Structure 1
Amino acid sequence: MQIIGMLRHVAMACGAGQRPLCSRWTSGLPVRFLGTSSPQSPADASFHSASFSGADRPQVLITGGLGQLGVGLANLLRKRFGKDNVILSDIRKPPDHVFYSGPFLYADVLDYKRLREIVVNNRITWLFHYSALLSAAGEANVPLARAVNVTGLHNVLDVAAEYHLRLFVPSTIGAFGPTSPRNPAPDLCTQRPRTIYGVSKVYTELMGEYYYHRYGLDFRCLRYPGIISADSQPGGGTTDYAVQIFPDAIRSGKFECNLKASARLPMMYVQDCLRATLEVMDAPAESLSMRTYNINAMSFSPEELAQEVLKHLPEFQISYNVDPVLQAIADSWPMTLDDSSARKDWGWKHDFDLPELVTTMLNFHGSDTRVAQAN
């Protein structure tokens, strides 16, 4: 019923004239903002990459801000640009500590008119689009994933192009598929994912690059590995085991993993991920040789992660109850990513390897009396 109601809302929006061009739903052509002016070339978009300071600091909007990365990104950006210059948004009610930490708005990425209002009323110049259903959650609800991950993207691309925003949309290791090179996966290779999440992210990469070449949109994208963060709940991703293992190890000394012991995947600590996101957004346009980059930090299997946990918690036990759906997804993803282009073009460098990651996560979850600091 939620999906039907959402689609009915879209149809009513068209009928009520909320969207200037409803035929775009079938044609896919973003003509409503073009007017009679000639298209921008990438060279015309160079003003997007000017350095910001003082009164010229960017005005930032983050969609899907209550997911795994939004709050942390907002905190990082507010330290850099000022609290009032960064607006967090979502369709969920924020907890008190988020609501009172800085500006928060209700924003549904399926509501094009509302997105435009937010951008205009708040003079937004940078947009971070995090609204999406992740891999496992998307497979459980394909119609909703298609609506949020694809239709929401259409709206964000059009708003960003219309108002000349600098736009960041994350991609993922899920954008690769079983026919992609796995060890490592390069920036450019065959991409034939088999999840709605992965398909929507390949579409995101291609549409962002198209809008860059066709309309001069300053689109920037990173393919995230599995992201491990201490202060957020797993959000329906295949790599969630690498988040959940730490609180379970502290609370009970046991963890049941839903992937095979040998399922090696690329991973990154959230602090590195957020820093990489800000760095690529802040990079001069002339330093970027592509619109979508791989980034990587470490690569490990559940067994290797458990062995590192055992160094701190000798009585820890891991068992395996493999979920065939999740395992099939993991088997279609790269074991590691080649991020040499990011390191060369804009100086990407990670800080956290596996030992630092495990120590940080265990200490966060309260094992301060049992966890030794990494040497």
Structure 2
Amino acid sequence: MALQRLQIQHCRVFSSLINNQLHLRRNQSVLATPDENPRILITGGLGQLGTGLAKILREKYGKDNVIMSDILKPSKEVVEAGPYIFADILDFKCLQEMVVTYRIDWLIHFSALLSAVGEQNVPLAIRVNIEGLHNVMELAKQYRLRIFVPSTIGAFGPESPRNPTPNLTIQRPKTIYGVSKVHGELLGEYYHHKFGLDFRCLRFPGVISSDTNPGGGTTDYAVQIFHDALKTRQFQCYLKPDTRLPMMYITDALRSLCEFMALPPEALKQRTYNVTAMSFTPEEIVRSVQRHVPDLKVTYAPDSRQQIADSWPQVFDDSEARAEWNWKPQYDIDGMVDIMVDALRPKYQI
């Protein structure tokens, strides 16, 4: 009996050693060498940032090295631009299979319900924004991926200093979107210190783009105004005219992300940074748009999004990103407005 127990114990130890070696080899096999381009998976790729980011990364790292994913049916243009696959971030095994099959090195996690939408369906926001995050964080830990999770001005609350809002300060958001983002920041910090995970996070302000339609978020008035100005010459704003919020043109936002992800780990002094480009109010962007559409008529009808905006930063302090990895935006409000109007004029045949 003693001999039998010894043989069983020996088998268990041997099996454990084999499993550990297989686990290590599996993790090592998906890592790009310094001479290789990274293989990148983008979740939530059909959102505001995903398509534009995929285009930039494919130009830099190769078309087949950047895989877009989402649960939506892609357009013909998206499919022709490069690899696109279905990915449900709540399905861990599905994500795991993609990471292994495509030998992923970087994971850029855009899948989330935004502020106003999340408030309308809190249980779904918890599933997508928190459970989905847990899945990608565990995958990144298991396969030693470099992972990027965006955060937001919505990660702050009314107790935070609003003008300016520094990189490190009290965070008590009042939306489930903000709560989930603070959770993501802290979980990423924990995984970095506990497991050595290469976690990276940028807190974005409102991002303005002509590529996607506004989705009803708190800062989306700054996109909707261009469509309404060019189409009907009338715009109703759901925020008060003097509501100041940080903003950023999408080209700056994507460039900040690409520069940040390309940095070697030792260049980062922290894992989460504020980035921004400008701060303005609805009445200030109205004046800038009226340079192109002088007969634009504007009314103000604040709704529930006003309360959200009143809890967010007015001016974002991104001095640490500027000092530590030389971040610098290129577009101010008038430059951004000029580009947006030029981009959208053909859509409305003006």
TM-score, structure 1 normalization: 0.84
Describe the SS at the equivalent of 1:268.
Answer: strand
Determine the C-alpha separation between the residues in 2 that align with 1:108 and 1:369: 35
- 1:266 partner SS: strand
Summarize deviations over 1:1-32 as a string: whole Å, max 9, x none. xxxxxxxxxxxxxxxxxxxxxxxxxxxxxxxx
Q: Verify the 8 A CA contact 2:231 2:348 in the aligned structure 1.
A: no
Q: Does 1:333 align with 2:306?
A: no
Whether 1:291 and 2:271 are equivalent positions in the alignment is: yes
SS at match of 2:219: helix
Q: Where does structure 1 lack aligned partners over 5 or more consecutive residues?
A: 1-34, 38-47
2:220 counterpart of 1:219 = no
Task: Give the distance between the partners of 1:367 and 1:182, measured in 2 at CA.
Answer: 38
Q: Deviations over 1:239-258 (max 9, x none)?
A: 01001100110111111111
Look up the SS of the partner of 1:174 in the other structure: helix
Equivalent runs, 1:187-336 vs 2, <5 Å: 187-323=167-303, 325-336=304-315
Distance 1:51 1:356 in 2: 40
What's the offset of the Cα at 1:370?
12
| 1:26-61 CA distance string (max 9 Å, x none) | xxxxxxxxx979xxxxxxxxxx999955xx100000
Q: Aligned partner of 2:318: which letter?
A: D
1:241-284: per-residue Cα shift (whole Å, max 9, x none)?
A: 00110011011111111111011000000000000001111112
Deviations 1:148-183 (A, max 9, x none): 000000000000000000000000000000000100
1:236 is displaced (CA, Å) by 3.2
Residue 87 in structure 1 maps to residue 67 in structure 2: yes
Note if 1:151 corresponds to 2:131.
Answer: yes
Separation of aligned partners in 2, 1:187 and 1:235? 27
Name the Cα RMSD after superposition.
Answer: 2.0
Superposed CA deviations along residues 223-252 of structure 1, whole A, max 9, x for unmatched, are 000000001012231001001100110111
Question: For 1:353, which of 326, 332, 335 is the aligned residue?
Answer: 332
Alignment-derived partner of residue 16 in structure 2: none
Equivalent pairs: percent with the same residue?
A: 57
Provide the C-alpha distance between the structure 2 equivalents of 1:51 and 1:185, rounded to a whole number of angstroms.
39
Structure 2 CA distance for aligned equivalents of residues 289 and 309 of structure 1 = 39
Cα deviation, residue 100, structure 1: 1.2
1:186 maps to 166
Please report how far the alpha carbon of residue 332 of structure 1 lies from its aligned counterpart in structure 2 after TM superposition.
Answer: 0.2
**CA distance in 1: counterparts of 2:34 and 2:164, whole angstroms:** 36
Partner of 1:44: none
Q: Distance in 1 between matches of 2:264 and 2:327?
A: 14
Describe how 1:84-163 pairs up with structure 2 within 5 A: 84-163=64-143
Instruction: Select the residue among 55, 58, 62 that pairs with 2:38.
Output: 58
In structure 1, C-alpha distance between the alignment counterparts of 2:311 and 2:286, rounded to whole Å: 23
| Other-structure match for 2:144 | 164
1:369, CA displacement in angstroms?
12
Instruction: Give the whole-Å Cα distance in 2 for the aligned partners of 1:278 and 1:336.
Output: 23
CA contact (8 A) 2:31 2:103 kept: no
Amino acid at match of 1:88: M
Runs of 4+ in 1 over 2 A off after TM superposition: 48-53, 367-371
Greater shift after overlay, 107-116 or 358-367?
A: 358-367
Question: Aligned AA for 2:273?
Answer: Y
Deviations along 1:62-84, one digit per CA (max 9) or x if unpaired, are: 00001111000100100000100
1:312 Cα deviation from its structure 2 partner = 1.8
Distance 1:51 1:192 in 2: 41
Measure the CA separation in 1 of the matches of 2:337 and 2:173. Answer: 30
| Whole-angstrom distance in 2 between the partners of 1:368 and 1:51 | 44
Contact 1:185–1:334 (Cα < 8 Å) also in 2 = yes
Q: Shift of the alpha carbon at 1:89? A: 0.1
Secondary structure of 1:246 counterpart: helix
Aligned partners of 1:370 and 1:82: how far apart in 2? 35
Does the CA contact (< 8 Å) of 1:49 and 1:283 recur in 2? no
Q: Which moved more, 1:71-80 or 1:359-368?
A: 359-368
Cα shift readout 1:119-167 (whole Å, capped 9, x = no counterpart): 0000000000000000000001100000000000000000000000000
Unaligned runs of 5+ in 2: 1-18, 22-29
Contact 1:256 1:320 (C-alpha < 8 Å) held by counterparts: yes
1:10-21 aligned at under 5 Å gives the runs none
Contact 2:32 2:38 in 1 (8 A): no
Query: 8 Å contact 1:245–1:255 — kept in the other structure?
Result: yes
